[in-house]
Amino acid sequence: MTSLTEALERIMNWLQQHKPDYAVTFLPGLSHSEITERLGNFRFQVPQTIYELYRWRNGTRGYQNDSVVFPPLVFLPLEDAVELCLEFIDIFKETEDEIRYEGNLLWEHLTNAMSISTYR
C-alpha 106/C-alpha 120 separation (Å) is 22
Give per-residue pLDDT as tens, 39-68: 887 777 889 999 999 999 999 987 555 555
Q: Return the number of other C-beta atoms located less than 10 Å from residue 70's C-beta.
A: 8
Q: Is the pLDDT of residue 116 over 70?
A: no
Q: What is the pLDDT of residue 112?
A: 47
Q: What is the pTM of this model?
A: 0.71
Neighbouring residues of 48: CB distance < 8 A, sequence distance ≥ 6: none
Angular region, 119: left φ>0, alpha ψ -120 to 50, beta rest: alpha
Give per-residue pLDDT as tens, 94-113: 666 556 666 666 655 555 44
Percent of the chain with pLDDT over 70: 67
Q: Is 71 exposed, middle or buried (0-12, 13-18, 19+ CB in 10 A)?
A: exposed
